């Protein structure tokens, strides 16, 4: 699978937070998230391992109750079934990979 950069295809997750699936294969799925300053991604969990990279902006990421200030170039991994949330400090862009593939994220 190959994806060409486009401003189309974003889905609103919650107010101020959008995601787009970039590519997926048999074992992983990669998504881009557009995160608006002042918004919050509520606490949640899922069975998928989640590996992320902050491209731009600034967020506060909470993983299993521990908070991390995340700046461009920082990365993280969240094991499956672990609660996590994010407070968006500045308009931000993050890329995340999920394993196994999140069927609910396939367009």
**pTM for the full model?**
0.95
Per-residue model confidence as pLDDT tens digits over 26-73: 999 999 999 999 999 999 999 999 999 999 999 999 999 999 999 999
3-state secondary structure of 86: strand
**CB 77, CB 90: distance < 8 Å:** no
Model pLDDT, residue 17? 97
Measure the CA–CA gap between 62 and 47, rounded to whole angstroms.
17
Model pLDDT, residue 107? 87
The full set of domains in the chain, from first to last, is: 12-105 (2.60.120.10)
């Amino acid at each position: 699978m190959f994806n060409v950069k486009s401003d189309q295809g974003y889905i609103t997750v919650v107010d101020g937070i959008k995601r787009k699936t970039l590519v997926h294969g048999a074992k992983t799925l990669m998504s881009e998230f557009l995160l608006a300053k002042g918004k919050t991604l509520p606490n949640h969990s899922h069975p998928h391992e989640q590996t992320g990279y902050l491209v731009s902006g600034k967020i506060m990421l909470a993983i299993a109750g521990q908070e991390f200030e995340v700046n461009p170039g920082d990365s993280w991994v969240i094991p499956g079934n672990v609660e996590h949330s994010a407070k968006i400090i500045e308009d931000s862009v993050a890329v995340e990979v999920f394993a196994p593939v999140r069927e609910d994220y396939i367009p």
